[in-house]
Structure 1
Amino acid sequence: MERFFSSAKNKDIKNNVVEVDIDKIRPNPYQPRKVFDLASIYELAESIKHFGVIQPLSVRKAKKGAFELIAGERRLRACAYLKMQKVPVIVVDMNDNDSAVVALIENLQRKDLTFFEEAEAYFHLITEHGLTQEELSKKVGKNQSTVANKLRLLKLPKDVKEIIKDHKLTERHARALLKLPDEKMQRSVVQRIVKNGYNVSESEEIIEKILFKLSGGKKEKKVLRCAVLKDVRIFANTIKKAVSVMRESGIDAVSEQNECDGFYEYIIKIPKKVSF
């Protein structure tokens, strides 16, 4: 590989592919993925053994001549497994915020994260790096409502989340449990779900029955909620239709719907100047 890559001793190595000592690369502290499948690492190592590292790792400069990994954790682990002394990297300028976002995006694109890891990564970027939900949603290419819904999953108690992880329950299971009013009830129901092997539909059904009993068996409340929901959908369709009419008339209007805690947010953008 030496004839293809520059030496890391060169003065200008930024944005160029160079080779660096593998023991000088430290892990990304903002890596959202907590668990790595060893079998997939071994498979990747076998590929690298035969074809080399096709895609260089992304790193940034650290103190004392070291480098901090930005993207390529699996490749780094596979190279370490092969006991490679040097690996190809691209050295880029990047601050803590961007490094954390890139590490998250890489995993999201490869669908490597569990829904709890994704939620924890969002929470970390908001609390530790000062991003708003809107800024974060734009950076990771997700709707703000998606980010908000992921963050809600973190409200579940730690032991309940562990049960969900250990028994590979789905995100919909977790969302259903959030409807229960207290942690004790959530623990009891998740244990019942695991014991009986309930799927999502069955889990949602028993949770609805519990909520029905808690409400005193008053069906009219549920009917009222459905009626209100139906009205909201009518309003939403009215907004969409209005935007559609404007677009058909040559006005480049756009609308965006976000589901926030306690309310729906509709944003309509209409250009100031309209040319026909």
Structure 2
Amino acid sequence: MTRERRLGRGLEALLSQPVDADSNAEPFREQHAAAGPVDPHGTVWINVYEIDRNPFQPRHVFRDEEIHSLADSVRQHGMLQPVIVRRIGDRYQLISGERRWRAATVASWEKVPCLVREADDRQMAELAIVENVQRKDLGPLEKASSFERYLEQYGCTQEELATRINLDRSTIANLIRLLELPEAVRTALAEERITQGHARALLPLGEEREQIQVCQQIQDEQLSVRATEQLVSSLIREADGRQPLGVAPGTTPSAPRSRSEQISSLEQELRAALGTKVDIREGAKGKGRIVIHFKSHDEFNRLRSDLAGGSHGEQSRAG
């Protein structure tokens, strides 16, 4: 099944209305608009200047070269699928298909084929996420921002959003964590100087200063994601050795206990899963402590939600 067809089914599920034109029909061409307001495809031809963007669109950047390339294709071959809009007063708002709408404008089409559907604001936000989250060219921070904006606006949990848009909660959680990184790191990620994997590897570091320094080192030394993970682990171990947990500054700690490989491995797994610094402290007779670090109230709420499987998401936002 093609990505476009999967997307169409996702939109249909959210709208409870069909969104695909006849897949066996000929492509839409500009001259079809002259035949009348409604053509045999069941679509309405609407002036491109009567259509406004989806206000919930997570995509902020549309590359000119891609739009012009799509416009060339539209001129030569027509448009394979109509755009989807909703009516707002005497104008229309895009639900899906902004790239096609922009390309049609560049191709100097006066009108564009549309399917007019009903959708409230919440559905519009969900539809914008569904349309864009599957695209590889949409940046991880844009996806993360759209998730966070939706959660804040509608006061739901990550689990509820995941169910509504048919996405794994872990995907949503991992992307939202990227917004906790300092601005310098987010900028490097947005400009593709580091990858999403690099950015995630920086999350367990406890200090923004360290995250920024390692981010720069990634770029200077062209570190792989694996090398970055190893570097972060060594920095955390070094920091643990400088000041063991529970030892007051200015005092001399006792000799450190040897750590099993199993405990060290488990510690790394927890850090990777939670996206923050985690310490496992072994005591006598098999006892010990697990300490989870956080840098802000928002991060604390995020960790609490993750540990509870998302059940505290609404409470944390309400508080």
TM-score bracket relative to the smaller structure: 0.7 to 0.9
* TM-score normalized by the length of structure 1: 0.75
Q: Distance in 2 between matches of 1:228 and 1:153?
A: 21
Matches within 5 A, 1:231-246: none
Q: Which aligned pairs between 1:64-75 and structure 2 lie closer than 5 A? A: 65-75=90-100
**Counterpart Cα distance in 1 of 2:224 and 2:264:** 25
Q: TM-score, normalised by structure 2?
A: 0.66
Q: Does the aligned pair in 1 maintain the 2:83–2:96 contact within 8 Å?
A: yes
Mapped pair 1:41 → 2:63: no
Cross-structure match for 2:160: 135
Measure the CA separation in 1 of the matches of 2:136 and 2:202.
24
1:169 maps to what in 2?
194
Is the Cα–Cα contact under 8 Å of residues 19 and 86 in structure 1 kept in the other structure?
yes
- Cα distance, 1:224 vs. partner? 2.1
Q: Which runs of 5+ in 1 are unaligned?
A: 9-14, 231-258, 267-276
Q: How does 1:82-231 map to 2 (within 5 A)?
A: 82-216=107-241, 220=259, 223-226=262-265
Q: Give the fraction of aligned pairs with identical amino acids, expressed as a percent.
A: 32
Does the alignment pair 1:6 with 2:31?
A: no
Cα distance in 2 between the residues matched to 1:31 and 1:212: 42
Using the TM superposition, name which of 149-158 and 209-218 deviates more: 209-218
Q: Tell me the secondary structure at the aligned position of residue 2 of structure 1.
A: helix
Q: How large is the Cα RMSD of the aligned pairs?
A: 2.8
Aligned runs of 1:10-25 on 2, under 5 Å?
16-25=42-51
Shift of 1:167: 3.9
Residue identity matched to 1:6: P
Tell me the distance in 1 between the aligned counterparts of 2:47 and 2:265: 62
| Cα distance in 1 between the residues matched to 2:261 and 2:206 | 17
Do the aligned partners of 1:16 and 1:91 also contact (CA within 8 Å) in 2?
no
Q: Distance in 2 between matches of 1:229 and 1:187?
A: 21
1:80: Cα distance to partner? 1.1
Cα 1:101–1:165 change in 2 (3 A) is same
The secondary structure found in structure 1 opposite 2:45 is strand
Residues 226 and 262 of structure 1: is their aligned pair in 2 closer, same or farther, counting only changes over 3 Å? farther
Q: Which runs of 5+ in 2 are unaligned?
A: 1-31, 243-255, 270-302, 311-319
Secondary structure at the counterpart of residue 122 of structure 2:
helix
SS of the residue corresponding to residue 58 of structure 1 reads strand
SS of corresponding position for 2:210? helix
CA distance in 1, matches of 2:263, 2:70: 55
Summarize the Cα distance change of 1:265–1:26 in structure 2 as closer, same or farther, 3 Å threshold: closer
